[in-house]
C-alpha cells in the first residue's frame, strides 16, 4: 500500500494549488470581475424587487378576501336591519298615532331616524379616517431590503 501526499489530487496536482490544499493567498478568492459583481448585484436586486411585489400582491389579495367576506356579511346585516327598521317604524307610527291622535307621528319618527342616520354617518366617517390600508409585512420587508442594499453598497 502506498501513501499519498494529503495535498495531492487524483490528477497528480500537488502543493498549494491542489484541490483541498490550504491557499497561501489570504485575499478574496472571488475571481469575478467588477462588472460581473455589479451584474450579480443588479440581478439579485431585481429578483428581490420581484419577490417583494409578489409578497405585496399576495398580502393585498388575502386582505381583500377577508374584507370581501366581512362586507358581504355587513350587507346582509344591513338588509335585515332595514327590514327591521321598516317594521319598527310602522309600529312606532301606530303607537304615536294612538297616543297623539293626529298626523304628526310619521313626521316625528322620520326626524328620529334622520338623527340616527346623521350620528351613524359621522361615526362611519371617523372610522374610515382612522383606517390604515398599509401592508405591514410588506413595509417591514422593504425596510429590511433597504438595509440589505445599504450593506451591499458599503461592502
DSSP string, 127-155: HHHH-----HHHHHHHHHHHHHHHHHHH-
Establish if 5 belongs to a structural domain.
Answer: no
Establish if 110 belongs to a structural domain.
Answer: yes
Are the C-beta atoms of residues 113 and 90 closer than 8 Å to each other?
no
Establish if 46 belongs to a structural domain.
Answer: yes
Q: Domain range holding 88? A: 34-145
Establish if 155 belongs to a structural domain.
Answer: no
pTM, 2 dp: 0.40
| Structural domains of the chain, count | 1
Torsion angle (degrees, nearest 10) of CA 75, 78, 83, 86: -140
Establish if 135 belongs to a structural domain.
Answer: yes
Establish if 19 belongs to a structural domain.
Answer: no
- The pLDDT of residue 143 is 84
Can you say how many angstroms the Cα of residue 126 is from the centroid of all Cα atoms in its chain? 23
Mean pLDDT, contiguous 10-residue spans, the chain (155 residues): 50 47 55 86 88 88 85 92 93 89 84 92 87 75 82 72
Are the C-beta atoms of residues 141 and 53 closer than 8 Å to each other?
no
Establish if 117 belongs to a structural domain.
Answer: yes
- The pLDDT of residue 3 is 52
SS3 28: coil
Establish if 15 belongs to a structural domain.
Answer: no
Torsion angle (degrees, nearest 10) of CA 97, 98, 100, 103: 20
- The pLDDT of residue 87 is 94
Residues 6+ apart with CB under 8 A from 16: 7, 22, 23, 24
Amino acid at each position: 500500500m502506498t501513501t499519498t501526499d494529503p495535498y495531492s489530487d487524483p490528477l497528480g496536482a500537488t502543493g498549494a494549488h491542489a484541490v483541498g490544499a490550504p491557499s497561501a493567498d489570504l485575499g478574496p478568492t472571488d475571481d469575478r470581475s467588477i462588472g460581473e459583481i455589479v451584474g450579480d448585484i443588479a440581478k439579485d436586486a431585481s429578483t428581490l424587487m420581484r419577490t417583494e411585489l409578489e409578497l405585496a400582491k399576495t398580502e393585498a389579495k388575502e386582505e381583500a378576501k377577508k374584507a370581501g367576506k366581512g362586507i358581504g356579511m355587513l350587507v346582509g346585516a344591513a338588509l335585515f336591519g332595514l327590514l327591521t327598521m321598516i317594521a319598527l317604524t310602522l309600529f312606532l307610527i301606530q303607537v304615536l298615532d294612538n297616543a297623539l291622535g293626529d298626523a304628526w307621528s310619521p313626521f316625528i319618527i322620520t326626524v328620529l331616524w334622520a338623527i340616527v342616520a346623521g350620528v351613524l354617518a359621522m361615526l362611519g366617517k371617523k372610522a374610515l379616517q382612522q383606517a390604515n390600508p398599509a401592508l405591514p409585512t410588506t413595509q417591514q420587508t422593504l425596510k429590511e431590503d433597504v438595509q440589505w442594499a445599504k450593506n451591499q453598497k458599503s461592502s
